[in-house]
Amino acid sequence: MNTSELWIGGKEQKSSTGEYFDDLNPSNSALIARVAKGNADDVDAAVSNAKETFEHFKDSEVRQREKILCDAASLVERDREIYMDLLVNEVGSPQMKAAFEVDYCINAFRAAAGVPRRLVGQTMPLDRPGAFGMSIREPVGVIGCITPFNVPLLKNVKQIAMVIATGNTSVLMPSEFAPQVTVQFAKTLNEAGLPGGVFNYVTGDPAEIGDFLTSHRDIAAINFCGSPRVGQHVANIAAKSLKPITLELGGKNPLIILNDADLDKALEAAMLGIFFFQGQACMASSKIIVESEIAQRFIPAFVEIAKNIKIGDLSDPETAIGPIISSRQADRIKSHVADAIEKGATLLHGGDWQGNCCPPTILSNVNSGMAVYSEETFGPVTSIYTVDDLEMGMQLANDTSYGLSCAIFTTNISSAMRAAKKSGAGMVHINAMSIQDEPHIPFGGNGLSGFGREGTDADLDIMTKWKWITMQID
């Protein structure tokens, strides 16, 4: 039986509890591994190790950090199939999604490798005669990282690559549904030559160890990705000790299709935007807003696409929808759909589940009294709304507490830019799907979608601090 331990100080460590929990394949509930169940003592050990390591790593040579990051990228490239298999078996990723995540990881490591030589400051004139002023960026210390189940490799590299690039250290708490991806990630970093203690992880029950990690006195900053409910809780903890924090939370993302849109491209964006990784994506297009004229062609064509999407067998590269990650999440999806139908929504497609797989589900006649209207379902479920014009469409798009991603399809540049300006989302995509991410862009949203931004340059806001230095020359 495969057993995985904690990773502290560059090596495996048994947990203080001596206890383990099951890591299960979401497709068939088969046991993947027994995973060490850490506690507060383990978190404390990891943070202490990271703090001690930081005193040396903060002054590491630029070329050392560059090489580690470049070597890590090459190792992920070499071990592509290992990572692909983990993402398919541990979190139920269709092969297309798994491939996207591996490619992202490789690119993110290489993007971060360009950062160490760009940690530049400023020189500035001062009022005092004979005085010279400068500002420099310094690493902040130990960064607490919390990653979700849906894109575990992507979020691991997104958070940790920049920790390395900026000369910080880290303690990661991975999702309890995706620990083996993190185990392999640690092996990659270790083989790439990362000094022990720069990257540490503690697996376990998030409810038991999450608060201790985020409130630890030696955690200098927090990078969190997860649900709005937990994100708000973590933000409250961080506020008590004035810790800087980045929150990447959920979304209720609109896809707006105007009458002049390219129908084929809009259909493809709608299909990928909501059914990618069975809708378990924060940027999923769960609100499809269509102008009335094109709606007559879009709706039946979209339903037909949904009917032909392959479900279930993740060994088939053509399969687009795999299992929902847990019974708790499955219950949430079922309750949202049932609530909508009970309150008058029309089910255009969907219905019988195939084991743990939810079929592509399309609703119409959805109103604000239904949970699916305002809450993130986090499954392959979308609602179609027909509107008279762009103004009405933008009102509907912005009628949400979230503000992550927005997509609009139109051939009119004026309409496109008007929508982009009016959108309350942190990211707007014109003639492209709502699911977009690259390592170097400022990724993030507003409202319940979080605050702060991720990305090689944006990460400097939380992973470095400014210091002003003056020198009297005369």
DSSP structure string for 127-174:
SSTTEEEEEEEEE-SEEEEE--SSSHHHHHHHHHHHHHHTT-EEEEE-
Amino acid found at 258: L
Instruction: Give tens-digit pLDDT for 371-392.
Output: 999 999 999 999 999 999 999 9
* Residue 436 included in any domain: no
Alpha helices in 203-284 (DSSP H): 206-215, 228-240, 263-275
Catalytic residue of the set 66, 90, 101, 248: 248
Alpha carbon distance 38, 18 (integer Å): 8
Amino acid found at 104: Y
CATH number, position 398: 3.40.309.10
Domain count for the chain, please give it: 2
Active site residue 357: no
Per-residue confidence (pLDDT) for residue 1, from 0 to 100: 65
Statement to judge: residues 234 and 329 lie in one domain = no
* Residue 424 included in any domain: yes
Active site residue 358: no
Statement to judge: residues 205 and 266 lie in one domain = no
**Helix (H) / strand (E) containing 428:** strand 427-430
Q: How far is CA 413 from the centre of its chain?
A: 30
Pairing state of beta strands 219-225 and 6-8?
A: unpaired
Amino acid found at 58: K
Cβ neighbour number for residue 153 with a 10 Å cutoff: 26
Amino acid found at 291: E
Statement to judge: residues 243 and 281 lie in one domain = no
pLDDT-flagged residues of the chain (< 50): none
CATH number, position 135: 3.40.605.10
Statement to judge: residues 138 and 263 lie in one domain = no
* Residue 438 included in any domain: no
Non-local CB neighbours of 370 within 8 Å, separated by 6+ positions: 336, 339, 340, 343, 345
Which residue segment(s) compose the domain that 316 sits in? 254-430
* Residue 437 included in any domain: no
Per-residue confidence (pLDDT) for residue 474, from 0 to 100: 82
Per-residue confidence (pLDDT) for residue 102, from 0 to 100: 98
Statement to judge: residues 201 and 295 lie in one domain = no
Per-residue confidence (pLDDT) for residue 351, from 0 to 100: 86
Alpha carbon distance 384, 366 (integer Å): 8
Cα–Cα distance list, 465 to 51, 53, 249 (Å): 17, 19, 24
CB 399 within 8 A of CB 367: no
Instruction: Give tens-digit pLDDT for 319-370.
Output: 999 999 999 999 999 999 999 999 999 999 998 899 999 999 999 999 999 9
* Residue 70 included in any domain: yes
**Helix (H) / strand (E) containing 471:** strand 464-472
Statement to judge: residues 370 and 244 lie in one domain = no
Statement to judge: residues 208 and 275 lie in one domain = no
Statement to judge: residues 242 and 263 lie in one domain = no
Statement to judge: residues 90 and 144 lie in one domain = yes
* Residue 397 included in any domain: yes
Sheet holding 169-173, edge to edge: 11-13, 6-8, 199-201, 169-173, 142-146, 219-225, 245-248, 450-451
Statement to judge: residues 260 and 138 lie in one domain = no
Catalytic residue of the set 105, 145, 225, 282: 282
* Residue 441 included in any domain: no
pTM: 0.95
* Residue 229 included in any domain: yes
Which two tokens mark 295? Answer: 């709606």
Alpha carbon distance 295, 259 (integer Å): 8
CB 423 within 8 A of CB 252: no
Statement to judge: residues 199 and 261 lie in one domain = no
Statement to judge: residues 279 and 177 lie in one domain = no
CB 407 within 8 A of CB 385: no
